[in-house]
C-alpha cells in the first residue's frame, strides 16, 4: 500500500471539512494515514486515492459511517469539567423548575454525547433534583456523529475505573454492578435518554426548542467560520433564558449569535 500523498491528504481534509466541519491541520496527516490504513488493507485497496473514490461513490452510507468512526476522536469520562454539572444543578435546573413549572418539562440536548457518560450524568442530576417534585419529564436527547460510540452509549455498560469520580450513592441507585470490572446503567436512567446520530453540519431535525444544550469539546475542531455558524444555529433553537455549555478550551464569543457570556464556557440566551 502506498503512503498518503499530500494531494490525497488535501482531498480528504477538504471532504472532512465540508461534511463535518472538522478542520485538520497539516500535522494531522500522519494521524489520518494511521487511522485509515487498516481500512484500506481490509478493502484490498492499493492507494488512498482509490479509497477516496470509493468513499464518494458509496450510496449505502456504510462507507461514510466507517470513515467517521475512524477519523473522529471520542474522549470522555464521568464528571468531566465538574463545575459545569454543579452549575447545571444549582443554577440552571432551579430556573427551569420555576419557568416551566406548569408544563413540568425539561428539554436538554447533549449534542456531543460520545459513549454516553455526559448524558448519563445529566440525566442522573435531573432525576436527583426533581425527586421531591413529582411529575417532571426529564427525558432528554443525546447525539453524536459516530455510530460506534452511540452503540456503546445505548448499551450503557461502563468500566468501574471510569466511574471513580461518581458519588457512591449514585452507583448504588442508578447502576447495577455486573462484575468486578463493569457497571450497567439502570433502565430508570437509560430509557430517559434518546440517543440519535446527528451531524452538526446538517439541518437540525427539531420542531421545538431546548432549554439547555451541552456541546463540549467539539467546536475546538472547527475553524472560526464553522464555529460561528454552529453557535448561531444553537441560538435559534434555544428558548429565551436557555443555556449553552461548551468546552473550557472553546469560545462562543464573537460569533454574532446573541448568546451572553455567563462564566467560563457557559453562555445564555437573553430572556
All cell numbers assigned to 250:
472553546
The pTM of this model reads 0.81
| 133, 254: one domain | yes
Q: Does residue 76 form part of some domain?
A: no
| 185, 116: one domain | yes
| 138, 176: one domain | yes
| 218, 90: one domain | yes
| 86, 188: one domain | yes
Domain membership of residue 44 as a residue range? 6-71
Question: In terms of Cα–Cα distance, which of 244, 218, 217 is closest to 88?
Answer: 244
Half-sphere exposure (CA, 13 Å, Cβ side) for 242?
A: 20
Q: Does residue 236 form part of some domain?
A: yes
- CATH number, domain containing residue 204: 3.40.50.150
Work out the percent of the chain whose per-residue pLDDT is above 90. Answer: 54
- The number of domains in the chain is 2
pLDDT band at 77 (very low <50, low <70, confident <90, very high): low
- The pLDDT tens digits for 81-120 are 889 999 999 999 999 999 999 999 999 999 999 899 999 9
| Distance from chain centroid for Cα 46 | 34
Say how far apart CA 262 and CA 66 lie, in whole Å: 38
| 126, 20: one domain | no
All cell numbers assigned to 159:
468500566
User: Of 44, 71, 98, which residue constitutes the final position of a domain?
Assistant: 71
User: Of 71, 92, 119, which residue constitutes the final position of a domain?
Assistant: 71
Amino acid at each position: 500500500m502506498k503512503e498518503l500523498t499530500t494531494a490525497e491528504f488535501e482531498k480528504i481534509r477538504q471532504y472532512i471539512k465540508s461534511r463535518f466541519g472538522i478542520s485538520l491541520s497539516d500535522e494531522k496527516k500522519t494521524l489520518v494515514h494511521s487511522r485509515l490504513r487498516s481500512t484500506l488493507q481490509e478493502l484490498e485497496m492499493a492507494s488512498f486515492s482509490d479509497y477516496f473514490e470509493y468513499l464518494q461513490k458509496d450510496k449505502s452510507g456504510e462507507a461514510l459511517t466507517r470513515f467517521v468512526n475512524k477519523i473522529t476522536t471520542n474522549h470522555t469520562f464521568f464528571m468531566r469539567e465538574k463545575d459545569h454539572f454543579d452549575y447545571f444543578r444549582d443554577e440552571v435546573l432551579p430556573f427551569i423548575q420555576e419557568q416551566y413549572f406548569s408544563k413540568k418539562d425539561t428539554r436538554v440536548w447533549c449534542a456531543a454525547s460520545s459513549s454516553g457518560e455526559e448524558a448519563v450524568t445529566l440525566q442522573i442530576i435531573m432525576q436527583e433534583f426533581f425527586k421531591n417534585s413529582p411529575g417532571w419529564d426529564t427525558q432528554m436527547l443525546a447525539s453524536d456523529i459516530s455510530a460506534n460510540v452511540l452503540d456503546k452509549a445505548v448499551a450503557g455498560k461502563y468500566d468501574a475505573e471510569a466511574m471513580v469520580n461518581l458519588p457512591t450513592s449514585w452507583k448504588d441507585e442508578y447502576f447495577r454492578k455486573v462484575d468486578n470490572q463493569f457497571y450497567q446503567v439502570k433502565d430508570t436512567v437509560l430509557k430517559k435518554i434518546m440517543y440519535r446520530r446527528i451531524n452538526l453540519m446538517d439541518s437540525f431535525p427539531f420542531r421545538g426548542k431546548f432549554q439547555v444544550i451541552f456541546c463540549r469539546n467539539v467546536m475546538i475542531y472547527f475553524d472560526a467560520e464553522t464555529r460561528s455558524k454552529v453557535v448561531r444555529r444553537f441560538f435559534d433553537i434555544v428558548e429565551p433564558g436557555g443555556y449553552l455549555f461548551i468546552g473550557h478550551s472553546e469560545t462562543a464569543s464573537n460569533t454574532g449569535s446573541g448568546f451572553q457570556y455567563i462564566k467560563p464556557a457557559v453562555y445564555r440566551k437573553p430572556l
